[in-house]
Amino acid sequence: MKGIQDYYPDHFAQCYGCGRLNEHGHQIKTNWNGAETITKFVPKTYHTAIPGFVYGGLLASLIDCHGTGSAALALAKAKNIVLDKSNAPRCVTASLQVKYLKPTPIGSEIEIKGIISEITERKVKVSCELFADDMLCVTGEVIAVLVPDNFGKPKNANLQ
Ligand SMILES: CCCCCCCC/C=C\CCCCCCCC(=O)SCCNC(=O)CCNC(=O)[C@H](O)C(C)(C)COP(=O)(O)OP(=O)(O)OC[C@H]1O[C@@H](n2cnc3c(N)ncnc32)[C@H](O)[C@@H]1OP(=O)(O)O
């Protein structure tokens, strides 16, 4: 299934957590689910912290990129952008806070919900809840900031 990440411009699609063009990355997909956002991910055994449980850094990384993806969805909605090939807004993480409430079991599908708690012209705050086996294991808060669409593009790209 496609996510907001499939609408990022190519030069913003290399991120390890969510870049569709990063073959070594997590390639998460973030979508609306009613008023909330959602992503799903199945950790591999090599994502182990201690046997049976997921490494916390991976979980932080998933929350990070689900947060920036949720922020992009929220900004697209607020600005009435109809998502087409590569016109999604792109956000970078300004702040990431994670609370590990319970060990996260490995082997089942992880689900992360996002709630847009604040949105301005350029900044979005997203509260995240991470579930495994329907158990709330981790919460997080991401502050994401919009980057200009042409950031990182070669300056003379239109001359080539
Ligand atoms: C990868 C490097 C990124 C480089 C920079 C952008 C290039 C984009 C290129 C490609 C995008 C794809 C990237 C994938 C993203 C996936 C997730 C990651 O792994 S991201 C990597 C980790 N994050 C950083 O390395 C950000 C480093 N920080 C910065 O570059 C700046 O500090 C930035 C852009 C976050 C903000 O700088 P300002 O000068 O543009 O804007 P100001 O005015 O400082 O902040 C805007 C609003 O955000 C709040 N804000 C900023 N930092 C905050 C913080 N730490 N905590 C709380 N609020 C913060 C401010 O208070 C302000 O809020 P008010 O508009 O006044 O309401």
Average pLDDT, stretch 79-108? 96
106 CB-side CA count, 13 A: 15
Residue to mutate, 7, 18, 92, ligand 1, most ligand atoms under 8 Å from C-beta: 92
- The residue-averaged pLDDT of 146-154 equals 76
> Which protein residue's CA is at the shortest distance from atom 62 of ligand 1?
123
Residue 84 resides in a domain: yes
The CATH number of the domain holding residue 125 is 3.10.129.10
Under 8 Å between Cβ of 137 and 102: yes
Cβ neighbours of residue 140 closer than 8 Å, sequence gap 6 or more: 60, 63, 64, 67, 96, 97, 98, 99, 127, 128, 130
The per-residue pLDDT of the chain, averaged, comes to 94
Let me know the angle formed at the C-alpha of 143 by 105 and 82, rounded to the nearest 5 degrees. 95
Cβ pair 28, 5 in contact under 8 A: yes
Tell me, what DSSP letter sits at residue 103?
A: P
Res 71 pLDDT > 50: yes
Confidence of residue 160 (pLDDT cuts 50, 70, 90): very low
pTM for the predicted model, two decimal places = 0.93
Tell me whether residue 159 is in a domain. no
* CA 99 to ligand 1 centroid distance, Å: 21
Q: Which domain holds residue 107?
A: 4-150
What gap in Å lies between CA 156 and CA 120, rounded to an integer?
31
User: Per-residue pLDDT averaged across 29-42, rounded?
Assistant: 98
Asked if residue 160 is part of any domain, the answer here is no
Residue 12 domain-assigned? yes
Q: Is residue 158 part of a domain?
A: no
Instruction: Quote the CA–CA distance of 34 and 8 in Å, as a whole number.
Output: 22
Read off the pLDDT of each residue in 126-130 and give the average, rounded to a whole number.
99
Q: How confident is the model at residue 151 (pLDDT cuts 50, 70, 90)?
A: confident
Judge whether 156 lies within some domain.
no
Q: What is the pLDDT at residue 159? A: 43
In this prediction, residue 1 has a pLDDT band, given cuts at 50, 70 and 90, of confident
Query: In this structure, is residue 71 part of a structural domain?
Result: yes
Could you report the predicted ipTM of this complex, rounded to two decimals?
0.91
Name the maximum alpha-carbon separation found in the chain: 54
Q: Is residue 121 one of the residues assigned to a domain?
A: yes
Which residue has a Cα nearest atom 67 of ligand 1?
123
Percent of the chain with pLDDT over 70: 94
Which pLDDT score, from 0 to 100, does residue 148 have? 77
Pocket residues: Cβ below 6 A from ligand 1: 12, 15, 17, 64-65, 68, 90, 92-95, 120, 122-123, 143, 145, 147, 151-152
How many distinct structural domains can be found in the chain?
A: 1
